[in-house]
Each structure stands twice: as C-alpha cells, then as structure tokens.
C-alpha cells in the first residue's frame, strides 16, 4: 500500500497507469462514490505489495532507491529486466517493492452505538478484536438504563469479535454527570447493586467484558473511582470477564480540569486489564478550530501514560470523524460534525484544496459559505491515520480504540491492515 496525494490534473486513470493497479481496484479500495471528482490534496490509498514507477528526468536507480528507502541492490535485483541499471531513461517503468507489513499483533476496539448498520459491522469485523456498545447508563440507585444491544452483540459474536458492555455516568436526557458519578462512587451498597446488574446483563447478553467510562468525576471522588474499579475487577475476574477503563487524555499527573483530575493513571492502570486513552477532541464540538487528534499532543499523552502504566495495557484512542467550524470562533458556538468521507465531499462541493499540517499531521481546508462566512474543516485521511498508528509501535502499545466505528472509512482499515495484524480474542 502507498498513499497518493492528488495533484492538479490527477485522475484515477493516471494513478492506475503510474502504479500499475487497476482503476476498479483503486475505486473499490477507497470507496470513491464519484471517482471523476477528485480533490487536490486528497489522500488516495493504492493497495498492493508493489507498484510501477515512471522514471523522471535526472533520476537514477540510486536516487530512486534513496527516495523510497530501498537498498540499491534490492531495487536492481527486483528489476532484473533492466539490462543496464546504471543507465535508465525518463519515461522508463521500474518496479518499486513495498515494505512488508510489520505484522505485530495488536488489539483493536471499536465503539459503536446500538443503531450501527449491520453492513458496517460486517465490513469492520475483520479488523476488530472488540466491539464496545455505547452505552448502559447508570442510575443513582445502581440500576441501568437498558439499550437495544441484542443485534450488535449477536452480530459481533457471529463474526468473531468480542462484545464489551459499556457503563457510563451519563444522566438520562443529558450528558456526563459529576453528581451522578458521586452518587455511585460514595455508596458501596449502590455499587454492589450496580455490579450485580452489570453481571446479570453480561451473562444474559453474552458479553465478553466491561468498559467503565466515568467522565467529569469530581476531584474529591478520585480515590472513590479507583476503589470502584478495584471492586469491579474483584467481582468480574473470577467470572472470567475483563475490565477496561476509559481515561481522559492527560499529559501530566497534576493536570487541572474536571475532565482530568479524578483519573488516576498509575492506580487505575495497575488495576484494570486495559485502559482506553481518549486521545482525541483537542479540536472539539464547541471549541476553536484545530485538528481533532494532533500527533504532537497525542505523543505528550503517551509520554506520560507509558511512564506510569504498562504499555501493554494501553489502547490509544483514534477518532473517526471531523469538524466544520465557522470562523472567527465565537465562544458558545458549535461546529458541524462530519464523517471523513463527508469532509472530502464538502471540499469537492465548495472547490477547496485540501492542505496538510506537518505539526499536527492532519488534513484541513478552508472555504466560504454561500452566506459569505469563512469555514475551517479538520478531519482524518490515510496520512494522518498512518502517522498516529506509527505511535503504537513506537510506544509498544497494546493497540488502538476507535471512536466510533459507526461509519466505515475504508482507507483507515487498509492502512491499519498494512501495518499490523489484528489479534482476535475469540
């Protein structure tokens, strides 16, 4: 696989000729709904283990080998059809081998809502170890607001993906509630009731494990949260269930803010089987325009996390969406959520060229609406996904966790599959 960035005048046909890959293969791999309407700056995935390269003026076998990071002798051996490697001509075609996949096994989790399409589940299942169905909302008395999860749980099991039950402190009809978390975390009897209800659901629905996602917990409940997770692990482990915990993206122990302070990385990391780092939402719905998961910021979180949590317990969060902001940013205003495909379609519609920020390692573009308002869009493409996936190997992590896999973005899975082998657990 290689990633081709569309240039002015590019077409799928030209890419097919350049890389020796059939047009239909490129269209299918990228799920291009309108292959005649490419966007300058758009990232296109070219599948395959090699591609044909057209020699440009001034190039030699040595310079081409340098450009692609291939040993010169290897390049010469693969192109044995060339009688005189020291004298190649512009326009001549040579074969460029692609590096084989690293092959290391990693765990991949995908959060979904119960409404996820069966077709999306079918297409995504080969790349997932876990499917986390979001979410059972806890109530102050330890009961649970149930969800219609039978379909995705059954589908996951049938496709060899382990379903995970997710519990959250989301207040019914609202969002994450600090007060609701406090009611649970300060009452051991309520916690026992909650865990009894969790176990009953897991047994009835054939869940594989549990994800605890308690967010915006009061700082004074920090130890209470640790104690609850410990109690959950002690109840669930003897029954054969794994326990994972979603954690805010902290870059230091004393990071301030309601989202961060109660998440005790060392203590929770020591107790839980896995932690899911929510390494996204730097660019967020009601914030200023920026990349959703800038690599430089994700790296800071991993620097801290791997220093206090065993790296083999860490799943790095991966976003699967983008935002469209109106500029200038006004506090209290909200961006529009886009799929990654939707972002490219929007760029095509408004005639924008896609740019790529080298610091955050993310694509973006600007455009003016019909009302004359300036907009900025940040999203993900094959380049930004590959840049973050490289961190998994760099930090020796257990794997990644996607928020969410309700929408299928084909280039993501091609990139992941080219870099890692997914470790199945059932």
Please say whether the beta carbons of 238 and 199 come within 8 A. Answer: no
pLDDT at 147: 96
Angle, CA 245 vertex, CA 278 and CA 189 arms, to 5°: 135
Q: Looking at 42-46, 53-57, 205-209, 255-259, which range is the least confident one?
A: 53-57
230: helix, coil or strand?
A: helix
pLDDT digits (tens, 9 = 90+) for 353-371: 999 999 999 999 999 999 9
- Per-residue confidence band for 51, with pLDDT thresholds at 50, 70 and 90: confident
pLDDT digits (tens, 9 = 90+) for 110-150: 999 999 999 999 999 999 999 999 999 999 999 999 999 99
**What is the dihedral sign for C-alpha 231, 114, 290, 8?**
positive
Please say whether the beta carbons of 416 and 380 come within 8 A. Answer: no
| CA distance readout (Å), 22 to 39, 40, 329 | 20, 21, 44
- Per-residue confidence band for 97, with pLDDT thresholds at 50, 70 and 90: confident
Separation CA 157–CA 130 (nearest Å): 10
- Position 406 pLDDT exceeds 60: yes
Listed in sequence order, the residues at least 6 apart from 370 whose beta carbon sits closer than 8 Å to its beta carbon are: none
Separation CA 292–CA 148 (nearest Å): 30
Tell me the average pLDDT across 196-213.
98
Does residue 104 or residue 136 have the better pLDDT? Answer: 136
Please say whether the beta carbons of 164 and 133 come within 8 A. Answer: yes
Listed in sequence order, the residues at least 6 apart from 363 whose beta carbon sits closer than 8 Å to its beta carbon are: 41, 43, 343, 354, 355, 356, 357, 378, 379, 380, 381, 383, 384
The DSSP line for 56-114 is: PTT--HHHHHHHHT--HHHHHHHTTT-S-TT---TT-EEEEEPPPP---EEEEEEEE-T
- Position 52 pLDDT exceeds 80: no
Its pTM stands at 0.91
- Position 101 pLDDT exceeds 60: no
- Position 202 pLDDT exceeds 80: yes
275: helix, coil or strand?
A: strand
pLDDT digits (tens, 9 = 90+) for 9-49: 999 999 988 887 889 999 999 999 999 999 999 999 998 88
Tell me the average pLDDT across 267-284.
98
Helix (H) or strand (E) holding 308: helix 295-308
In the chain the first and final C-alpha atoms are separated, in Å, by 28
**Which tokens in the block code for residue 232?**
């959950």
Separation CA 55–CA 51 (nearest Å): 13
Catalytic positions, please? 215
Mean of all residue pLDDT scores within the chain? 95
- Position 186 pLDDT exceeds 90: yes
Helix (H) or strand (E) holding 368: strand 362-368
**Which tokens in the block code for residue 169?**
């402190």
């Amino acid at each position: 696989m290689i990633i081709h960035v569309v240039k002015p005048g590019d077409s799928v046909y030209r890419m097919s000729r350049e890389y020796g890959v059939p047009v239909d293969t490129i269209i299918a791999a990228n799920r291009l709904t309108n292959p005649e309407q490419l966007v300058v700056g758009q990232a296109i995935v070219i599948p395959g283990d090699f591609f044909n390269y057209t020699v440009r003026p001034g190039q030699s076998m040595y310079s081409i080998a340098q450009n692609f990071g291939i040993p010169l002798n290897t390049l010469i051996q693969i192109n044995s059809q060339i009688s005189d490697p020291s004298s190649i001509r512009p326009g001549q075609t040579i074969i460029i081998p692609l590096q084989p996949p690293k092959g290391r096994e990693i765990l991949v989790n995908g959060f979904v809502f119960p409404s996820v399409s069966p077709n999306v589940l079918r297409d995504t299942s080969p790349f997932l170890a876990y499917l986390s169905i979001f979410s059972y909302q806890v109530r102050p008395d330890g009961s649970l607001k149930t969800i219609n999860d039978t379909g995705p749980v059954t589908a996951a099991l049938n496709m060899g993906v382990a379903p995970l039950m997710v519990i959250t402190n989301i207040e019914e009809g609202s969002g994450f509630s600090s007060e609701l978390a406090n009611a649970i975390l300060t009452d051991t009897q309520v916690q026992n009731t909650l865990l009894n209800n969790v176990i009953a659901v897991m047994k009835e629905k054939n869940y594989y494990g549990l994800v605890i996602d308690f967010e915006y917990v009061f700082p004074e409940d920090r130890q209470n949260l640790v104690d609850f997770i410990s109690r959950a692990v002690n109840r669930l482990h003897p029954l054969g269930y794994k326990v994972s915990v979603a954690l805010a993206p902290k870059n230091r122990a004393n990071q301030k803010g309601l989202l961060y302070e109660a998440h005790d990385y060392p203590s929770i990391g020591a107790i839980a089987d896995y932690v899911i780092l929510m390494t996204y939402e730097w660019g967020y719905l009601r914030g200023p325009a920026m990349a959703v998961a800038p690599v430089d910021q994700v790296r800071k979180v991993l620097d801290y996390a791997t220093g206090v949590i065993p790296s083999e317990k860490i799943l790095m969060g991966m976003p699967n969406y983008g935002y469209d902001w109106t500029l200038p940013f006004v506090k209290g205003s909200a961006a529009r959520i886009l799929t990654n495909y939707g972002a490219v379609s929007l760029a095509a519609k408004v005639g924008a060229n896609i740019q790529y920020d080298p610091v955050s390692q993310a694509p973006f573009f600007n455009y003016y609406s019909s009302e004359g308002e300036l907009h900025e869009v940040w999203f993900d493409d094959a380049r930004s996904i590959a840049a973050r996936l490289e961190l998994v190997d760099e930090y020796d992590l257990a794997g990644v966790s996607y928020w969410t896999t309700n929408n299928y973005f084909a280039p993501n899975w091609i990139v992941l599959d080219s870099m890692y082998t997914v470790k199945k657990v059932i």
